[in-house]
């Protein structure tokens, strides 16, 4: 669906591109959230568990930066994961100001199959694109995202 905005050709192209990018993101996001609801975790909780599974214990600040979440929201997410026994907070051995978040054995047991199912959902969603298209899309998204980060600073 294209926009009905009557601006310049550049503005209409940008707006139409944004609409398509946003709809694709929302569509895939809906499938992922639906999958995670079966496991009774949110997409944000999944993000925290997944990053800890693949990168190991991390300070709260680093987790927030990697999943683009404010520290106040992240604290709530980690609180809920801690209450459910999936993560623990520990003092950082080298920086007494920092708190490390670590997966518990239960958290590791839970995230492994959920991650594989998550990856299966993504693989199916992206299967409409051939590998070269997937690489091009990834490169374009990185270029767009990196450009915004540089300009926002």
37 within domain boundaries: no
12 within domain boundaries: no
pLDDT at 105 over 50: yes
Q: For the chain, how many structural domains are there in total?
A: 1
Q: What is the residue range of 141's domain?
A: 44-152
pLDDT in tens, 45-65: 999 999 999 999 999 889 999
User: Averaged over 111-115, what is the pLDDT?
Assistant: 95
- What is the Cα–Cα distance from 89 to 148, expressed in whole angstroms? 33
**Dihedral in degrees, nearest 10, Cα atoms 37, 55, 88, 105:** 70
133 within domain boundaries: yes
pLDDT at 87 over 70: yes
79: domain CATH number is 1.10.10.10
134 within domain boundaries: yes
Query: Binning pLDDT at 50, 70 and 90, where does residue 113 land?
Result: very high
What are the angstrom distances between the C-alpha of 87 and each of 41, 91, 106?
Answer: 13, 13, 8
Specify whether the CB–CB gap between 57 and 100 falls below 8 A. Answer: yes
Kindly give the residue spans of alpha helices, DSSP state H, lying in the chain. 9-37, 43-55, 60-67, 71-83, 105-126, 131-152
81 within domain boundaries: yes
147 within domain boundaries: yes
- What is the Cα–Cα distance from 21 to 114, expressed in whole angstroms? 26
pLDDT above 70: percentage of residues in the chain: 94
């Amino acid at each position: 669906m294209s926009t009905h905005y009557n601006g310049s050709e550049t503005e209409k192209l940008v707006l139409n591109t944004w609409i398509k990018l946003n709809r694709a993101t929302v569509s895939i996001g809906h499938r992922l959230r639906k999958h995670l609801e079966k496991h009774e975790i949110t997409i944000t909780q999944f993000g925290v568990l997944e990053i800890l599974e693949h990168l190991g214990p991390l300070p709260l600040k680093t987790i927030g930066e990697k999943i683009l979440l404010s520290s106040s929201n992240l604290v709530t997410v980690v609180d809920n994961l801690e209450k459910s026994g999936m993560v623990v907070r520990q003092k950082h051995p080298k920086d007494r100001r920092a708190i490390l978040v670590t997966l518990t054995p239960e958290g590791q047991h839970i995230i492994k199959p959920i991650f594989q199912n998550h990856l299966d959902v993504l693989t199916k969603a992206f299967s409409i694109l051939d590998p070269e298209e997937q690489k091009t899309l990834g490169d374009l998204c990185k270029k767009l995202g990196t450009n915004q980060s540089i300009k926002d600073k």
